Amino acid sequence: MSALSPKTPGWLDWYQNPSEPTFRLPPGTVDAHCHVFGPQAEFPFAPERKYTPCDGGKDELFALRDRLGVARNVIVQATCHGADNTAMVDAVRAADGRARGIATVRPDISESELLDLDAAGVRGVRFNFVRRLVDASPADDLSTIAKKVAPLGWHIVLYFESADLPELEGFFGSLPTTLVVDHMGRPDVTQPVDGPQFTRFLRFVEDNDVWVKVTCPERLSVAGPAALDGEQRAYTDVVPFGRRVVREFPDRVLWGTDWPHPNLTDHMPDDGLLVDHVPHVAVTAEEQRKLLVDNPMSLYWPGEDR
Ligand code: 0GY
């Protein structure tokens, strides 16, 4: 066994003892955006990765799931594992029906490899346009992948910076599957929620029936995690953005923790506090049930009991 790679300098490890959330997640809640990192000794990271994380394996993910009162997970292939989906698939299989996966694949993937991933519980692929995380993939390669996964009924998860949407929007509109966007399209939350950038994003969502992950307030926030007036109400500058998406698209929003929280260098969120963020963006019991249970169930476990 070769020596293990050290973590990227400044890397913050995931939060060890998350607080007990004040907000009670409804039964059947899905954490629709989380990852596994290794463990490296068992599942080595990809040579082309842009960062080396701490370990964050399936056992720790399932422990967090149970602690927060989550029922199911959607495990998204992290870029540190490249297109080697082994760790993610191992976690999805180990969850025994309580997890689905989103893979990263290359355009030359065969039909039988795709069918194996599908049988394991994979339901989509991720196209990543964030340059600090991956080198650019040619659009033709992505179109080839999209054509291959569409017949399986899979969807495509898009991760991009808000400033890049105008350039990418035409390509996104050409994709033949359902589209799901990570982290609300990464808005610049110092701009107004009804300003041109976020309004353009919402028009893209409307015009293309896009699903939106109302995730990562800790990643988008400039104000940070400070509580307001002694109330557990962190990441307040992100609330209007999440609130607007949930209000306008209640049937196409998803929630997730993003555990183990790659590439955060300023602070690491308390996952319990992330749960307590939910009722500020989904304010009614109906909005909460759709965001946390009904929507992810219809996308990832259609026809199954909550
Ligand atoms: C996220 C966000 C990030 C990283 C990744 O796969 C990844 O490496 O997704 C990020 O650094 O913004 O969704 O976890």
Over range 129-155, report the average pLDDT. Answer: 97
Structure tokens at 83: 């297109």
Look up 55 and say whether it is catalytic. no
133 lines ligand 1 (CB under 6 A): yes
pLDDT at 305: 85
Q: pLDDT tier at 188 (50, 70, 90 boundaries)?
A: very high
Tell me, what's the pLDDT at 231?
54
Which atom of ligand 1 lies closest to the CA of 78? 6
What sign for the dihedral angle of Cα 74, 80, 83, 88?
Answer: negative
The mean per-residue pLDDT over the stretch 174-181 comes to 98
Note whether 108 and 140 are within 8 A (CB). no
| Longest CA span, the chain | 56
Q: Is 52 in the pocket of ligand 1 (CB under 6 A)?
A: no
Rounded distance from Cα 262 to ligand 1 centre (Å): 6
Q: Mean pLDDT over residues 123-143, rounded?
A: 97
Tell me how crowded residue 218 is: count the other CB atoms within 10 A of its CB: 24
Which residue in this structure is represented by tokens 């965001």? 291
pTM of the model: 0.97
Sheet architecture: strand order including 253-254:
30-34, 72-76, 99-103, 122-128, 155-159, 179-181, 211-213, 253-254
pLDDT tens-digit map of 208-240 = 999 999 999 999 999 888 754 555 557 999 999
Which pLDDT score, from 0 to 100, does residue 225 have? Answer: 80
How many residues are listed for the chain in this entry? 306
DSSP letter string over 2-43?
Answer: PPPPPPPTTPPPPPSSPPPPSSPPPTT-EEEEE--B--TTTS
Q: Ligand 1 within 6 A of 269 CB?
A: no
Q: Which of 1-5, 15-19, 265-269 shows the lowest per-residue confidence on average (mean pLDDT)?
A: 1-5
- What would the pLDDT profile of 289-303 be if each residue is shown by its tens digit? 999 999 999 999 999
**Residue owning tokens 């340059």:** 131
What's the CA-to-centroid distance between 78 and ligand 1, angstroms? 7
Is the minimum distance from the CB of 79 to ligand 1 under 6 angstroms?
Answer: yes
d(CA 68, CA 149): 33
- Candidate from 151-165, 215-229, 247-261 with smallest mean pLDDT: 215-229
Q: Domains, the chain, ranges and CATH?
A: 30-300 (3.20.20.140)
- Report the pLDDT value the prediction gives residue 223, as an integer from 0 to 100: 87
Q: Is 218 in the pocket of ligand 1 (CB under 6 A)?
A: no
| 266 CB neighbour count, 10 Å cutoff | 10
Q: Which of 31, 55, 182, 258 is catalytic?
A: 258
Q: What is the 305 CA–ligand 1 centroid distance (Å)? A: 30
For residue 219, the ligand 1 atom closest to its alpha carbon is 12
Residue 90's region, left for phi above 0, alpha for psi from -120 to 50, else beta, is alpha
